[in-house]
Amino acid sequence: RRFGERLQQALTVIGGSKPKAALLQIDLDDFKAVNDTLGHGAGDTLLQLAAGRIRDALQDGESAYRYAGDEFAVIQLGKEQPAEAERLAG
């Protein structure tokens, strides 16, 4: 719910002639295999570690959300260069 509200807010903010925002979607590849082979406890730990790494990489104007099982999203506002989005993607 918070993700949807923040995304709507971001779309309103960038409604001008030169939008300055990025939406990054992050999916943990083969996450189901972790749960299936190591158990849900290991899967939960992996999700917490991933969320922590994403959170630690955030800068001003960025917010992160877990919106599905192994899927995260980062909303960046005020970013003018593609390299700003690539910093998190890399």
Length of the chain: 90
Terminal CA-CA length for the chain: 27
* Active-site residue list: 70
Helices (H), ranges, 1-90: 2-13, 31-38, 40-57, 82-89
